[in-house]
Structure 1
């Protein structure tokens, strides 16, 4: 038996850790997915700030997927798919939390009292 097999059996794992290639690919992709948004902000090749924000969010999601696959080794076959299901559930909770927070902040901003936005103080009791 090899040392890796002994390690996997000792820890009750059917699958070994990632390969060196997996880690190197993940590292390279993480570097690229970090550099491109940095360049988009610093060099300003795109004139529309809204488009830049959307691109940064897309690169962030891509980086989350790279980290999940290359470093955390979450796949559909790992532990009968339960790990992937846990990630899907976490994603749904995050989307609900972020969307709800944005909705609440929008409505708080829209429904503020009339003098609050300009800094005026009301003199009525």
Structure 2
């Protein structure tokens, strides 16, 4: 027991302050998106753009405050894996939308 090494509490983990801050930001962003939809204060296209921006900010908050992904050298592989996943998702979603649009246009002509 006398030879046990003490591990710093903050190594690889976030602090309580960081978790609470991330939680509060998440709640505020979620409430903003919910309020935007419930009160219908913007036209539909503007609301969709605002919701997309709020969703992107929410993703960044979760990545930084809860998953602890940053641009440090130690996180380089995690950031590259995240970038690859995002690129693959964009290809998948974009390709699906393109195919569905083409199918829709080809079915309309008959």
TM-score range, shorter chain: 0.7 to 0.9
**Which blocks of at least 5 consecutive residues in structure 2 are unaligned?**
none
C-alpha RMSD of matched pairs (Å) = 2.0
Who is 2:86 aligned against?
91
With CA pairs under 8 Å and 6+ residues apart, which has the higher RCO, 1 or 2?
2
TM-score by length of 1: 0.76
> Shift in Å at residue 54 of structure 1?
1.4
Which residues of 2 match residues 25-104 of structure 1 at below 5 A? 25-46=21-42, 48-77=43-72, 79-104=74-99
TM-score by length of 2: 0.85
Which residues of 2 match residues 3-42 of structure 1 at below 5 A? 5=7, 15-42=11-38
Q: 2:22, 2:66 within 8 Å by CA — same for their partners in 1?
A: yes
> Shift in Å at residue 58 of structure 1?
1.2
**Which blocks of at least 5 consecutive residues in structure 1 are unaligned?**
9-14, 116-125
> Shift in Å at residue 16 of structure 1?
2.6
Runs of 4+ in 1 over 6 A off after TM superposition: none
What is the aligned residue count?
106
Choose between structure 1 and 2: higher helix proportion.
2
> Shift in Å at residue 7 of structure 1?
7.5
